[in-house]
Amino acid sequence: MKSVRETVTELCNKTDYEIYFDMLNRDISAHRLTKEKKDEIIKKSMETAVQCYNEVVSKFGELNNPAEYAIRLHIPINYVNEKPNKYYSYVGIFTEKNQTITLNSETIAFIKQLINQFGIADLVDPNQIKSTVTAHELFHYFEFIHPELYTNQKILDAKILGIFKTKSSLLAAGEVAAMHFAKLLTKLHYTPLVYNKIFALGKKQLL
C-alpha cells in the first residue's frame, strides 16, 4: 500500500493530460466516449480555461491572488464555517443567483491540518488552498456570464427513450477547465486536484 507521500508525489508528477483524462473517466457520462473524443474534450476544455485566463489578465493585469480578481469583477466572497464530515463537505461554491463565491473556512483549515499532519508541506503549499479554490470558482463565474463557452455546450450524443437523438452537456468538461484555469491563475507547479486528494486521504478522520 502506498504511503500518503508516495500518493501525493505521484499525483503532483502527473501531466495535465493524465489528470484530466482521469477526471473524464470518473464521469459516468463519459464512459462510452472514444479516446479520440476524450482527447478532443480535454483539448477544448483547456483552451476554454486559457481563453478565460487571457480575458481576466488582459483586463486587470497580473494580480497577486485570485481574490483580487474577484474584487475587480465585483464578485463578493463569503466565508462560512461548516464542519466537513465523511458524508458531505465542500471547500467552495459559486452561486449563480447572486453571483457570489462562498468558501468554507472549516474545510480549508482541515486540508491545511492534513498537509502538516502528513508531513507533505514540502510537496504542496497549504497556503495556496484558498487561492486555488477561489480561482476554481472564478472560472464558474466566467461560465455563467459566457454561455457560449465550450464547457456550456451540449457536447455528448444522447438518445431520449433510446430513439430520439439529442445532445447533452458534460459536467466533467467544466471541471477540467476550472481545474486548469485555477492552475494558470495561481501558477501552481502541480495540479490543484492534489488538495482534493489530500482531503480524501484524511476523510476517515471525520465523524
Residue 58 C-alpha from the chain's centroid: 22
pLDDT tens figures, 153-164: 865 543 333 333
pLDDT higher than 50, residue 95: yes
What is residue 61's DSSP assignment?
A: -
User: Are the CB atoms for 177 and 48 separated by under 8 Å?
Assistant: yes
pLDDT at 7: 96
pLDDT tens figures, 109-123: 999 999 999 999 999
What backbone torsions phi and psi does residue 65 show, to the nearest 5 degrees? Answer: -155, 160
pLDDT higher than 50, residue 201: yes
pLDDT tens figures, 146-199: 999 999 986 554 333 333 333 345 788 999 999 999 999 999 999 999 999 999
Domain residue spans of the chain: 4-205
Q: Per-residue b/e over 26-37, b at no fewer than 16 CB within 10 Å?
A: ebeebeebeeee
Which residues, in sequence order, are bridge partners of residue 101?
Answer: 77, 94
Report the predicted TM-score, pTM, of the whole model to 2 decimal places: 0.91
Which residues, in sequence order, are bridge partners of residue 100?
Answer: 95
Residue with cell 454561455: 147
